[in-house]
Chains A and B, each alone.
Chain A
Amino acid sequence: MGRLMGGVLRKLGSLAVNGVWQFGFIARFFVLILRYSGQSFMRLHLTIRELYFSGVMSLLIILVSGLFVGLVLGLQGYEILQRYGSSEAMGTMVALSLLRELGPVVAGLLFASRAGSAVTAEIGLMKVTEQLKAMDMMAVNPIARVVAPRFWGGVVSMPLLAALFSTMGIFGGWLIGVVFIGVDDGAFWSQMQAAVDFRYDVLNGVFKSAVFGVAVSLIAVFEGYDCVPTAEGVSRAITRTVVSSALAILALDFVMTSFMFRGL
């Protein structure tokens, strides 16, 4: 009995110590990235290249999913709103749900699985093939050369992708509502404009997506840099990137929502 208790406690203790160690490591890593960012911006084309791979290459999935989410929101929203005879409020519903929640969150999740996993795989494979060590030997800082550009590429592209997602979603809602169902075009836009506040809804959404961009990019580069340098280690790191990014996005979203939208 005593031995069992001791074993459980030891397990708990090692879990806590590992957790704190990991947290400290990720925080130090973040500070290192910020410190060497200036050095990596001296070669701006590295960051622009990453912007291409994480931003432009994610464009298709973001635009198509945004359109479909908007179409579904339009159909479901109409179905519910017409029960109360207020189908003109469809524009409001589609715009608010996209700007406040769905745009940043779904774009963040897609971004994590599309671009975050690729970044982790790339850095992890560089570690397996000892390219990072080779850079260190040649007095090239791997954080400035490899990690920081990928981090900033993700941070810059995430808010833009979320804005494109929301725009496509609103277009999808408009398509269903105005073109297919026949809600009045003027009422759709004017009710939307009356209800959506620039600072309260649009800027809060952009802020959310920027925070998700930082979180996802940091997790992706960290998992890649920290992975066990074997084939299995890289695959595990990629899985961890997707899982922890998703959890981080949803948890951060709850925290930010509870601060931003408390219904006054």
Chain B
Amino acid sequence: MSRTTLDLWVGVFVAMGIAALLFLALKVGSISGSDVQSPYSLSARFDNIGGLKVRAPVKSAGVLVGRVTEIRYDNEHFQAEVVFSVDGRYKFPTDTFANILTSGLLGEQYLGLDPGGEEKTLAPGDVIKKTQSAVVLEKLISQFMFNKAAEGDQAPAK
């Protein structure tokens, strides 16, 4: 085979390979590192984070606005401290409420931000004070059972 046709085939092969890599990066992977632009970090303390993981999405009104970057245990407050980065385009008021929510019945857990009404916005590095922990199924069930039992005790007394 002559050298030019060989070069041509190799060129086609390499171009195809690079196109495949681009396809995997853009169409399949959607380069999720870049969907958070010029991020700033905020943190929040929770009594219980449930199954929240690093890299879990941070959503406000259902829209992805950032990602959880770090989860550590705060031994002073005996709470979990969740650090997350938020897209620089979005600003949240200082009385924003942070919840740990679940998407779907068996879905992944994510951090939900409910903005309040304050004029001032959170600066990078700020700590969100108003938080609500993850719902732990066992606690919910036991609460329900205790309530039922309490109702059962009261009924015959009447």
Contacts and interface: CB of A to CB of B under 8 A. Distances in A.
Interface string B84-102: 0000000000000000000
Contact of B24 (A51, A55, A59, A166): A166
Contact of B10 (A52, A159, A196, A201): A52
Interface string A175-212: 00000000000000100111011111110011000000
A160 to B, nearest CB: 3
A163 B21 contact: yes
A197 B53 CA distance: 15
Given A45-B3, A196-B28, A202-B25, A160 B55 contact: no
Given A52-B9, A163-B21, A189 B27 contact: yes
Interface residues of A, number: 33
A56 B13 contact: yes
Interface SS, B side: helix
A164 B17 contact: yes
Contacts of B6: 48-49, 52
Interface stretch (B30-38, B39-47, B74-82, B132-140): B30-38
A157 interface: yes
A163 B24 CA distance: 8
A111 to B, nearest CB: 13
Contacts of B54: 264
B156 to A, nearest CB: 43
B16 interface: yes
A241 interface: no
Nearest to A91: B28
B9 A56 contact: yes
B117 interface: no
A242 interface: no
Contacts of B7: 45, 48
A59 B14 CA distance: 11
Given A163-B21, A197-B55, A55 B28 contact: no
A72 B29 CA distance: 22
Nearest to B107: A86
B13 A157 contact: yes
Interface in A153-174: 157, 159-161, 163-164, 166-167, 170
A123 interface: no
Nearest to A51: B10
Contacts of B53: 264
Contacts of B21: 159-160, 163, 206
Given A160-B20, A198-B32, A264-B54, 19 more contacts: A49-B6, A51-B13, A52-B6, A59-B13, A160-B13, A164-B20, A166-B24, A167-B24, A192-B28, A193-B27, A193-B28, A193-B30, A194-B30, A198-B30, A198-B31, A198-B33, A202-B25, A202-B29, A264-B53
6 contacts: A157-B13, A160-B16, A160-B18, A164-B20, A192-B28, A201-B29
Q: Which 7 A-B pairs have the closest CB atoms?
A: A160-B17, A193-B30, A198-B29, A163-B20, A167-B20, A198-B31, A202-B29
